[in-house]
Chains A and B, each alone.
Chain A
Amino acid sequence: MSEHEVKKLEEIFEARIARDEKIEPKDWMPEKYRKTHIRQMSQHAHSEIVGMLPEGNWITRAPSLRRKAALLAKVQDEAGHGLYLYSACETLGVSRDELFEQLHSGKAKYSSIFNYPTVTWADMGAIGWLVDGAAIINQVPLCNTSFGPYARAMVRVCKEESFHQRQGYEIMLTLCKGSEEQKEMAQDALNRWWWPSLMMLGPTDAESVHTEQSMKWKLKRKSNDELRQQFIDQTVPQADILGLTIPDPDLKWNEETGHYDFGEIDWDEFWQVVKGHGPCNKERMKARVDAWENGAWVRDAAMAHAEKKQKNLKEAI
Chain B
Amino acid sequence: MNNNLYNYILGVADNSLILAQRLGELCGHGPTLETDIALTNISLDLLGQTRSYYQYAAKIKGEDATEDSIAFLRLEREYKNVLLVEQPNTHFGFVIARQFLFDVYHYMIMQQLQNSKDLNLAAIANKGIKEVSYHKRFSSDWVKRLGDGTSESNQKIQEAIDALWRFTDELFDILEADQKMINEGVAVDVSKLKAAYYEEVSEVLKEANIQIPESKYFTRGGKKGIHSEHMGYLLADLQYMQRTYPNMTW
Contact = CB atoms under 8 A, between A and B. Distances in A.
A69 B25 CA distance: 13
B13 to A, nearest CB: 11
A68 B54 CA distance: 15
Interface in B235-249: 237-238, 240-242, 245, 248-249
B242 A63 contact: yes
Nearest to B51: A65
B149 A301 contact: yes
Given A174-B250, A304-B149, A72 B24 contact: yes
B31 A294 contact: yes
Given A178-B248, A294-B91, A303-B149, 9 more contacts: A59-B24, A60-B21, A63-B248, A79-B28, A182-B245, A295-B32, A297-B152, A300-B152, A301-B149
Given A182-B245, A297-B153, A72 B44 contact: yes
Contacts of B27: 52, 56, 59, 72, 75
A56 B47 CA distance: 16
Interface size class of B (residues with CB under 8 A): 35 or more
A174 B31 contact: no
B1 to A, nearest CB: 21
B30 interface: yes
B250 A60 contact: no
Contacts of A287: 28-29
A6 B232 CA distance: 68
A279 to B, nearest CB: 18
Interface string A88-121: 0000000000000000000000000000000001
Contacts of B224: none
B145 interface: yes
Given A64-B68, A121-B241, A305-B145, A69 B47 contact: yes
B245 A298 contact: no
Interface stretch (B35-43, B160-168, B212-220): B35-43
A75 B28 CA distance: 8
A257 interface: no
Majority DSSP secondary structure for residues of A touching B = helix
B148 interface: yes
Interface of B: 21, 24-25, 27-37, 40-41, 43-44, 47-48, 50-51, 54, 67-68, 71-72, 91-92, 144-146, 148-150, 152-153, 156, 237-238, 240-242, 245, 248-250
A302 interface: yes
A89 to B, nearest CB: 13
B101 to A, nearest CB: 18
23 contacts: A60-B21, A60-B237, A61-B238, A63-B242, A65-B71, A69-B44, A72-B47, A79-B36, A80-B37, A174-B249, A174-B250, A287-B28, A287-B29, A291-B30, A294-B91, A295-B32, A301-B145, A301-B146, A304-B149, A304-B150, A305-B146, A305-B149, A308-B148
A29 interface: no
Contact of A61 (B35, B37, B54, B237): B237
A309 to B, nearest CB: 9
A298 B238 CA distance: 29
Nearest to A181: B245
Given A82-B33, A290-B29, A298-B32, A63 B250 contact: yes
B30 A300 contact: no
A64 to B, nearest CB: 5
Nearest to A62: B241
A230 interface: no
Interface in A47-68: 49, 52-53, 56, 59-68
A294 B94 CA distance: 13
A86 B250 contact: no
Given A287-B29, A294-B31, A64 B250 contact: yes
A249 to B, nearest CB: 31
B29 A300 contact: no
Contact of A63 (B51, B92, B145, B241): B241
Nearest to B35: A298
A304 B21 CA distance: 31
